Amino acid sequence: MAHFDLSLYETVAQRLVRWWAEYPDGRIITSIHHYDGSTIIMRAECYNNDDRLIATGYAEEVFGNSPVNKTSFLENCETSAIGRAISNSRIGHLGGEDAGQRASMEEMSKVNRLNTTPRPDSHGSATPKQIGFLKSLARGKGWDDLQLLDYIHRLLQVDDVVVETLTAGQCSAVIDGLKK
């Protein structure tokens, strides 16, 4: 399975430095969206200097599925949600045109970890060719990264994937939807 070059991704701490430089009077609020004892989903809301909500982000973590999640899965989830929300804001993420850098270094580290553990339900990761075609179809519709991600989440009825973590089957379903 593919591994991602983590040096190409920004940490959530780096995103927070940029956030507070842009919005020194802003605020970030996190809340638990779902918790069942083993899985947590958190939402982060980013407010600008005028106290207007300008971005949200969600993250999901499973207790014990990594060393950090054995001791700090709530904190890990909160950090990821903040990183997603900042990435969804106007200041976005570093990396220019490469939509792959929307995810934080922490998220891609998780992907690398999960890709080294075979999962019978994964049906294999989407190929670079599939991902390239999917992005090309989205560009053809005039969509930016956020519009594509919103479409993927609505179509697949999930909110915890990014383009780079789609399975081959999920990517095919998105491609088919974009062709319509």
The letter for the amino acid at 13 is A
Residue 99 shares a structural domain with residue 127: no
Confidence of residue 178 (pLDDT cuts 50, 70, 90): confident
Residues 6+ apart with CB under 8 A from 2: 115, 125, 128
Q: Domain of 45? A: 1-117
pLDDT of amino acid 6: 53
CA distances from 129 to 7, 103, 161, 175 (A): 22, 19, 18, 12
Give the confidence band of 162 by pLDDT, cuts at 50, 70, 90.
confident
Tell me, what's the pLDDT at 28? Answer: 97
Q: What is the pTM of this model?
A: 0.54
Q: Are residues 8 and 71 in the same domain?
A: yes
- Structural domains of the chain, count: 2
The helix/strand/coil state of 115 is helix
pLDDT tier, 68 (very low <50, low <70, confident <90, very high otherwise): confident
Q: pLDDT at position 93, please?
A: 63
Whether residues 108 and 37 fall in one domain: yes
Boundary residue ending a domain (89, 117, 145): 117
φ/ψ of 167, rounded to 5, equals -80, 165
Considering 68, 91, 117, which residue would you say is the last residue of a domain?
A: 117
Tell me the per-residue pLDDT of 87-117, one tens digit each, with 9 for 90 and over: 899 888 665 444 344 555 555 555 555 555 4
Q: Calculate mean pLDDT across residues 116-126.
A: 55
Same domain, 37 and 100: yes
Asked if residue 113 and residue 174 are part of one domain, the reply reads: no
- The pLDDT value recorded for residue 35 is 92
pLDDT (mean) for 47-53: 97
* Cα–Cα distance, 67 to 77 (Å, whole number): 13
The answer on 56 and 127 residing in a single domain is: no
78 versus 166: the higher-pLDDT residue is 78
- Rounded CA-CA distance 60/34 in Å is 9
Question: Same domain for 95 and 134?
Answer: no
CA distance 49 to 20: 10
Q: Based on the fold, state whether residues 29 and 43 are members of the same structural domain.
A: yes
